Amino acid sequence: MNDWLLTVLVFWPTVGAAVLAIVPRQQVDGIRRAAFAFSLVPFALSLVMLARFQPGDGGFQMVHQVAWIPQWGAQYQLGVDGVSLFLVLLTTFLTPLVVLAGWGDVHKRVKEYFAFLLVLETGMLGTLLATDLLLFYVFWEIMLVPMYFLIGVWGGPRRIYAAIKFVLFTMVGSLLMLVAIVWLAWRVKGHMSFGYDDFLNLRLSSTEQLWLFAAFALAFAIKVPLFPLHTWLPDAHVEAPTGGSVILAGVLLKMGTYGFLRFAIPLFPDAATAAAPVLATLAVIGIVYGALVATVQPDLKKLVAYSSVSHLGFVVLGLFAFTPMAAAGSLYQMLNHGLSTGALFLLVGMIYERRHTRQIAAFGGLWTQMPIYAVCFLLAMLASVGLPGMNGFVGEFLILCGSFARWPLLTAVATSGVVLGALYLLWMYQRVIFGPLDNADNKTLADVSGRELVVLVPVLVMCLVMGLFPTPFLSRMEPSLQRMLGRVPAATAALAAPVVAAR
C-alpha cells in the first residue's frame, strides 16, 4: 500500500471527475453528492499518509517510482517529506469544503464546475508530491487549465480578462522554468535525468546558478505573487467564484513559496544567497504595499485579495532569511494563510449570495441580524490579524524572530505590516458587522445555514488548534527544513539552533 498510496491520493480526484462526466446533467443533487464523496477520499488517504509518516526522517517517504520516459531519463516519482506533508493535508482538507460550499452558489454547468475542481486537486497534489522535475512541471501546468475555466466560466463580469491575465502571467514564468529544467537534465553526468536528487548533486558554476535560479524564481515569484508581479491576483480573486478564490488563496499561491523552498533555494544555494537581499526587499515592499492598498479598498473581496499580497510577503521574507526558525515560520504561515484567508473568502461569498454586493458601505449592523455569521467572521479575521492563540500569530512570530538576525532593518519595516494588517481588518469588520442596522436590505438577511456551518467550523477549529498546539506540526517539518537549509552557505551557522529548541 505504501508504494501506491501517493499515486491513489493524487489521481483519485481525476477518477471522480471522470465519473461525474457520465452522470446525466439533470441529476444536480446526485452530481453534488458524488463530487463531495470523491473529494473526501483524498482527505482520508492523506490522514493515512500522516499516520505513516516518520517524523524524524528528513528525506522523502512512501516513494513510488516507475519508469516513465526512459529515453529522456524521466521517472514517474512521487514522495512526501516534512515540507510537503501538511501542504498536501491543507489541499485535501480545503477541497471537500469548497465542494460543499459550491452547493449553494453554483447553479449553472454544475457537473463541469465540480469536475474542474477535482482535476485541479489532482494538479495541486501532483505538484506537491512530484520528485521528478519533468513530472513536477507537468502537474504545475495541469493546475492552470481547470483554474482558467473556473474563473472564465463561473466568474464575474470581467472573468475572461481575469482568466487570460492569470494564464499569461503564469505561463511566461513557467516556460523559462521548463528551459532551466531541461538544461539541468542535460547537465547530469552519464545520462539524462530529471530526478530531484540528481539535480541536487550537480556542480554548477556561479553563472549557471544565477541564470537557472532566475528562471525558477520568476515562475515562483509570479505564482506567490511577489511585488511587482502581483497585478494578476486582485483581478483573478475578484472575478473568480467563491470556490475558485478559496483554492487560489488557500493552495495555489503556496505553490510559489513551496517552489522557492523545494527547488530554487536548495538547487542553487549560491545564487539564492546572492539574490536574497533583492527578494527580501521586494517581500517587505509587498508587505507594506499590500496592507496599504487593502486599507482603502471599498470591495470586501478585493481587500482580502490584497491582504494575501501582504501576508505572503512575510513568507518570502522568512524563506530568504535562511534560518531554521524563519523557514519553519514561513512553512507554517503557508498553512495559516490557507486556512484564515480561505475562511474569509468563504464568508465573503456567503454574504455576497445574500446581498449580491461586496461593497463594504452596503453593510453595517450585521451582528444584530446574523450573530453566528458575525462570530465566525470575527474568528477568521482575528486569525488573519495574528492574534496570540490563533494560528497566524505563530507563523508571523517565528518569521520575524528568525529574520531579525539576518535582516534587522527589513524585519523592523515588515513588522509595520502586522500593525497595518490589524488596522484594515479591524476597520473592515467594524464597518460590516457593527454600527446601526439602517439598510433595509440587511434587515431580512438569514444567518448561516447548517451546511455553511459545516463548511466554516472545521476551518476555524483548525485555526485554533494550530495556534494553540504548533509543536506536532513544527516537529515534522524541522528535519526536512534542516536538510534543505544545510545546502545554503548562509544558513550553515544558524543550523546550530534548531526551531524546536526555540519553542
User: Residue 190: its pLDDT value, please?
Assistant: 66
In sequence order, the 6+-apart residues with CB closer than 8 A to the CB of 122 are: 10, 11, 13, 14, 17, 139, 142
Distances from the Cα of 77 to the Cα of 52, 130, 196, angstroms? 18, 6, 10
User: Residue 29: its pLDDT value, please?
Assistant: 86
Global pTM reads 0.91
User: Residue 2: its pLDDT value, please?
Assistant: 54
Nearest-angstrom CA–CA distance, 36 and 54: 30
**What Rg, from alpha-carbon coordinates, does the chain have?**
22
Instruction: Give the closest residue to 23 by CA, choosing from 115, 122, 106, 95.
Output: 115
Determine which helix (DSSP H) or strand (DSSP E) holds 91, and give its type and residue range: helix 85-105
Beta strands in 94-247 (DSSP E): none
Tally Cβ neighbours within 10 Å of residue 328.
30
The b/e string for 438-464 (b: 16+ C-beta within 10 A; e otherwise) is eeeebeebeebeeebeebbebbbebbe
262 DSSP 8-state letter: I
- Structural domain of residue 55, as residue ranges? 2-502
Nearest-angstrom CA–CA distance, 84 and 455: 24
User: Residue 113: its pLDDT value, please?
Assistant: 92
Please report how many Cα atoms fall inside a 13 Å half-sphere around the Cα of residue 261, on the Cβ side. Answer: 33
User: Residue 192: its pLDDT value, please?
Assistant: 77
One pLDDT digit (tens) per residue for the chain, 503 residues = 457 899 999 999 999 999 998 888 888 888 899 999 999 999 999 999 999 999 988 889 999 989 888 888 889 999 999 999 999 999 999 999 999 998 878 888 889 999 999 999 999 999 999 999 999 999 999 999 999 999 988 888 888 998 999 888 888 888 999 999 999 988 887 677 888 888 888 888 889 999 999 999 999 999 988 988 888 888 888 888 988 899 988 898 899 999 999 999 999 999 999 999 999 999 999 999 999 999 999 999 999 999 989 999 999 999 999 988 999 999 999 999 999 999 999 999 999 988 888 899 899 889 988 999 999 999 999 999 989 999 989 999 999 999 998 889 999 999 999 999 999 999 999 999 998 888 888 888 888 999 999 999 999 999 999 999 999 999 999 999 988 888 887 655 454 454 544 44
User: Residue 7: its pLDDT value, please?
Assistant: 93
Helix, coil or strand: residue 75 = strand
First to last CA, the chain: 35
Rounded (5°) CA angle 477-337-485: 30
User: Residue 37: its pLDDT value, please?
Assistant: 94
User: Residue 141: its pLDDT value, please?
Assistant: 92
Domain total of the chain:
1
Rounded (5°) CA angle 401-253-280: 40
Q: What is the largest CA-CA distance in the chain?
A: 75
User: Residue 476: its pLDDT value, please?
Assistant: 92
Helix, coil or strand: residue 132 = strand
Peptide bond into 228 cis (omega under 30): yes
